[in-house]
Amino acid sequence: MIKSRHESDAVRTVDAAKIEEAVRMILSAVGEDPNREGLLDTPSRVARMYEEIFAGLHRDPRAELSARFHVEHNEVVFVRDIPFYSMCEHHLLPFFGVAHVAYLPQDNVVTGLSKLARLVDTVAKRPQVQERMTNEIADVLYEELNPRGVMVVIDGEHLCMSMRGIQKPGSRTMTLAARGRYEEDVRLREEILRMLR
């Protein structure tokens, strides 16, 4: 096993008291009574939820790739349909879907398959836009594993499009990031896209 050059960050927590105060203010601002029975525990629930859904802010995504192995394999490693949930940084509404991550190992060095899912999870659990999320996953994988190529495809639905604004539920957004051989060779990209169909 090859050690990562990054140590895992200590997990910090959110400022729960500040979140609770803000939630009470929002409830009041929209015309609700934050002291109503059904809303009394809402501020603390939201604070606990934010600690969970924004946990990626306090973790280094590079640390997720710490497990490295030498194997007799230099062909594509492709993990598809990795579920993710994130929060749009423009409206603080969820967007969610699946990520597909492929890479071509170099020098027979691979990471654990679950580490790819952890990488997606860590990058998703922060205020995000899908375009940046796609590129961050590709960049971390390309820089940390030094593979011959990386390709990341994300298929997401955004509640900021589904339940507000244009109000088009079911609309899907696809983003793609390619590095190395996948950026240079259209045939290699097409191979991954064929496997997604």
Positions at the binding site: 88, 91, 160
Residue tagged active-site, from 91, 157, 183, 191? 91
160 is catalytic: yes
**Catalytic residue list contains 128:** no
What separation in angstroms does the CA of 168 have from each of 157, 160, 163, 171? 10, 9, 7, 6
Q: Catalytic: which of 90, 143, 184, 190?
A: 90
C-alpha closest to that of 35 among 21, 24, 23? 24
CA distance 104 to 145: 10
Residue whose C-alpha is closest to residue 157's, from 174, 172, 169, 175:
172
Q: Give the annotated binding-site residues for Zn(2+).
A: 88, 91, 160
Out of 88, 100, 128, 136, pick the active-site residue: 88
What is residue 119's three-state secondary structure?
helix
Residues 146 and 176 sit within 8 Å (Cβ to Cβ): no
100 in active site = no
- Closest to 174 measured CA to CA, from 130, 117, 128: 130
Catalytic residue among 20, 100, 130, 144: 130
Q: Which of 7, 70, 73, 89 is an active site residue?
A: 89
Residue 88 is a catalytic residue: yes
Tokens of 83: 């579920």
* Residue 143 designated active-site: no
In the chain, helix, strand, coil percent, each to 5? 45, 25, 30
Q: Is 90 assigned a catalytic role?
A: yes
Catalytic residues, by residue number, are: 88-91, 130, 158, 160
